[in-house]
Amino acid sequence: MRIGGLQPVTLLDYPQKVAAIIFTTGCNMRCPFCYNPDLVLDDLIAQNREFDYSEMVNFLVRRKKYLDALVVTGGEPTLQPGLLKFLKKMKKIGYLIKLDTNGLNYSVLEILIKEGLIDYLAMDIKGSLAHYQDFCGLAVNTENIERSIALVKQSGLDYEFRSTLVKGLHRKNDILAMAQAIGGVKKYFLQNFDSPGKLVSSDFSGRPFGPKEREKILDLVLPIVGNCQWR
């Protein structure tokens, strides 16, 4: 496990639970609007100190009496070769596990679900499947995205889908196609792009949607998804 960050406590990232967050390094996408280049780009990863795995595990063992859950995010956590072993250890201690994923690594996601190692899933939808490369920055196998969508919906787990929307990148037809790809899901959260600083693409020039535009997007999505809100 390669760990690029640890947040000792959060009340926001696992619904109704007190959780810690670990941030894994490395990703199989290069979304230009991604806020976490330090966890994605190899040259930046190499510049930053990695957390010692044993120290992290010992910390989580000590903190269990104060925490209900652990959120595993990234980067893309399913790329970590030690993820299965780590989650088994955390489940044995008694942690509820929330996994954030982009869904591209379908085979690993399927194993984690079958092994009973996940309690809550959050899957990102980057853009319309027909033009996914425009949103995730690389040519990817969108069949795996579609398979992961179906897997999450049929998993029996609590889950959410979510999308960061960028004015100038996500058009009306893209947003409509994204909603159609996940239609009928339990929860769909939209996140308005707001650049806090460095992004994966240094020359990316997207903008946030305004209040009236966000209302129109909800009107577009709600008839298809049914349970959608801006976060």
Residue range 59-101, pLDDT digits in tens: 999 999 999 999 999 999 999 999 999 999 999 999 999 999 9
Q: What is the pLDDT of residues 15-50, one digit of tens each?
A: 999 999 999 999 999 999 999 999 999 989 888 888
Instruction: Tell me if the domain spanning 3-164 has CATH number 3.20.20.70.
Output: yes
- 168-220-31-143 Cα dihedral, nearest 10 degrees: -140
Q: Phi, psi (5° rounding) for residue 105?
A: -90, 70
Q: Phi, psi (5° rounding) for residue 131?
A: -130, 35
pTM beyond 0.85? yes
Q: Cβ distance 106 to 148 under 8 Å? A: yes
What pLDDT score does 205 carry? 84
